[in-house]
């Protein structure tokens, strides 16, 4: 199994190399050269299996020789042992034909734990074997950063620096990043928005002296391992509702397009998915693009679903790569145009995108109203991101095809927005009850590449 870059001009890598490399050296994102297939019989056999077993069978073909069979099983078992629900990703019925996939039972209460716990284990195994040390730099709008710090805190062979947009994440998200005491983790509050953080991260990858000098690695969904781990719960949830014998659809609260792209990979592997519905908040660049209006950046509007306040949706590049028939030069050209503000999608590529994805955007008022309505009608308390998904799913459902909406974070991560909508203050789980009392450790940093690289070079533990 080999991995190729979406811009077509970087070396082919194995799974382990792609995982440890992060961004391709031509600025693109790694994707598998071929998508492994699962037959209907193989998918049907997932029914009743533990989450870990399905994870093994779905991910094994992507991993190639990078890990042995037993080694990979043990990695998976360790990754999910700390989850607070036996099913790992339980399904809850909201309504006739509408289901919620709860992805917030991991250690930091967001879907990011599914992938981050796994790549934490894979990094440890691979780095231990190689005797290597890396510097992980991540960009976050709140959840990736906390999940990464949780997965890598205290490890000997990794330094972790997380850039988050100062003042633009929830207090719980911030405290999850600023209160760990381990000296290998560093929370950096950057001036700007998430797109600035992600742009500086990609700049660091494109500065080869810095990249090679510090052994830069990435744990954003730039990293193929992140996307791969998220493919699994599309299978477990669809099979629970009758796949492969019947089709299901998914609605995914979307920002950086990693989670919904994982659903697309599940579909390409053979899972009968009817529609993949992209749900955005008022930062609706993806919805506008999928409605045929081109991909044009605007100013990011802070919202009550801050983790999705994104304009430059990193993984959309992976979707474009397939929509443009895997033409790396065409994708590189689009990404150049994006630097100058945006691009139009060709008619052919648009047809491909629209054959897989639908979309909808939700206002702030609609998000709050959905949180309230769901609590009143079902007793389910949603986080604002999940509410965006539930609202769009309600508008896009088709009779006869079950709709699964991904609940991407626990409501307790966004208590202010939830309380404003419902009057209910969702409590943190007991293991985090003292989060507000723990001392914080954070460095304020400018949106300046040179200053950031100097800071990182000067604060590594090596
Ligand atoms: C809670 C939550 N929901 C949804 C998203 C959007 O997911 P993606 O970036 O994979 O589209 C994020 C951020 O990634 C998030 O943290
Ligand atoms: N919403 C994300 C943004 C980064 O996304 P990633 O999937 O590329 O890591 C966050 O919570 O940080």
Q: What is the pLDDT of residue 236?
A: 98
Q: What is the pLDDT of residue 331?
A: 98
Tell me how far apart the alpha carbons of residues 379 and 373 are, in angstroms, rounded to a whole number: 9
Give the global pTM: 0.98
Tell me how far apart the alpha carbons of residues 172 and 108 are, in angstroms, rounded to a whole number: 10
Enumerate domains of the chain plus CATH numbers: 87-106+224-422 (3.40.50.1100)
Answer yes or no: is pLDDT of 462 > 90.
Answer: no
Specify whether 457 is catalytic.
Answer: no
How close are the terminal C-alpha atoms of the chain, in Å? 33
Q: What is the pLDDT of residue 74?
A: 98
Confidence of residue 160 (pLDDT cuts 50, 70, 90): very high
For the residues 260-268, what does the mean pLDDT come to?
98
Q: What is the pLDDT of residue 368?
A: 98
Catalytic entry in 112, 247, 391, 413: 112
Which of 102, 141, 143 should be mutated for ligand 1, with most atoms under 8 A from CB? 143
Closest ligand to the CA of 144: 2
Nearest to 244 by CA among 382, 444, 47: 47
Task: Say if ligand 2 is within 6 A of residue 254 CB.
Answer: no
E-strand spans in 58-170? 91-95, 98-102, 134-139, 158-165
Q: Which atom of ligand 1 is found nearest the CA of 310?
A: 9
pLDDT, mean over the chain: 97
Which of 23, 141, 162, 189 should be mutated for ligand 2, with most atoms under 8 A from CB? 141
DSSP 13: B
The rounded Å distance from CA 156 to ligand 2 centre is: 25
Which of 106, 254, 319 should be mutated for ligand 1, with most atoms under 8 A from CB? 254
What is the DSSP code string of 25-80? TTS--EEESS-----HHHHHTTTT--HHHHHHHHHHHHHTTSS-HHHHHHHHHHHH
Question: Would you call 230 helix, strand, or coil by DSSP?
Answer: helix
Percent pLDDT > 90 in the chain is 99
Task: Say if ligand 1 is within 6 A of residue 304 CB.
Answer: no
Tell me how far apart the alpha carbons of residues 138 and 161 are, in angstroms, rounded to a whole number: 6
Q: Which atom of ligand 2 is found nearest the CA of 144?
A: 12
pLDDT in tens, 135-153: 999 999 999 999 999 999 9
Confidence of residue 30 (pLDDT cuts 50, 70, 90): very high
Task: Say if ligand 2 is within 6 A of residue 6 CB.
Answer: no
Confidence of residue 162 (pLDDT cuts 50, 70, 90): very high
The rounded Å distance from CA 461 to ligand 1 centre is: 30
Tell me how far apart the alpha carbons of residues 412 and 328 are, in angstroms, rounded to a whole number: 42
Answer whether the bond into residue 322 is a cis peptide, omega within 30°.
no
The rounded Å distance from CA 345 to ligand 2 centre is: 24
By alpha-carbon position, which residue is closest to atom 13 of ligand 1? 307
Burial category of 195 from C-beta neighbours within 10 Å (exposed 0-12, middle 13-18, buried 19 and up):
buried
Count, residues in the chain: 462
Task: Say if ligand 2 is within 6 A of residue 415 CB.
Answer: no
Task: Say if ligand 2 is within 6 A of residue 144 CB.
Answer: yes
């Amino acid at each position: 199994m080999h991995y190729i870059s979406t811009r077509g001009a970087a070396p082919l890598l194995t799974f382990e190399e792609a995982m440890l490399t992060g961004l391709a050296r031509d600025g693109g994102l790694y994707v598998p050269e071929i998508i492994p297939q699962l037959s209907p019989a193989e998918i049907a056999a997932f029914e009743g299996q533990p989450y870990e077993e399905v994870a093994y069978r779905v991910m094994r073909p992507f991993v190639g020789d990078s890990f042995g069979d037993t080694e990979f099983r043990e990695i998976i078992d360790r990754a999910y042992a700390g989850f607070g629900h036996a099913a790992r990703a339980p399904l809850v019925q909201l309504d006739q034909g509408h289901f919620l996939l709860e992805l917030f039972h991991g250690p930091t209460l967001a879907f990011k734990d599914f992938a981050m716990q796994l790549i934490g284990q894979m990094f440890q195994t691979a780095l231990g074997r190689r005797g290597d040390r890396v510097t992980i730099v991540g960009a976050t709008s709140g959840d990736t950063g906390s999940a990464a710090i949780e997965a890598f805190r205290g490890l000997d062979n990794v330094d972790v620096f997380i850039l988050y947009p100062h003042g633009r994440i929830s207090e719980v998200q911030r405290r999850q990043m600023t209160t760990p005491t381990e000296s290998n983790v560093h929370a950096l509050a950057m001036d700007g928005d998430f797109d600035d953080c992600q742009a500086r991260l990609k700049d660091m990858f494109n500065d080869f002296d810095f990249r090679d000098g510090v052994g830069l690695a990435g744990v954003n969904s730039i990293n193929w391992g992140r996307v791969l781990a998220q493919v699994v719960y599309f299978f477990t949830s669809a099979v629970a509702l009758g796949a492969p014998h019947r089709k299901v659809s998914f609605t995914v609260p979307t920002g950086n397009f990693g989670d919904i792209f994982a659903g697309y990979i599940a579909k390409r592997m053979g899972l009968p998915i009817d529609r993949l519905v992209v749900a955005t908040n008022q930062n609706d660049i993806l919805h506008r693009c999928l409605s045929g209006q081109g991909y044009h950046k605007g100013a990011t509007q802070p919202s009550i679903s801050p983790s999705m306040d994104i304009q430059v949706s990193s993984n959309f590049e992976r979707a474009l790569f397939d929509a443009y028939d895997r033409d790396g030069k065409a994708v590189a050209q689009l990404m150049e145009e994006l630097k100058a503000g945006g691009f139009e999608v060709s008619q052919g590529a648009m047809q491909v995108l629209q054959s897989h994805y639908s979309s909808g955007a939700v206002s702030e008022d609609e998000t709050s109203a959905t949180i309230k309505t769901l609590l009143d009608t079902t007793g389910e308390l949603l986080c604002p991101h999940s509410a965006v998904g539930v609202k769009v799913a309600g508008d896009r459902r088709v009779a006869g095809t079950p709709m699964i909406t991904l609940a991407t974070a626990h409501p307790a991560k966004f208590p202010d927005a939830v309380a404003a909508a419902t009057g209910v203050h969702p409590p943190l789980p007991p293991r985090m009850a003292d989060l507000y009392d723990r001392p914080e450790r954070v460095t304020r940093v400018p949106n300046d590449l040179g200053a950031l690289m100097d800071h990182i070079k000067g604060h590594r533990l090596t």
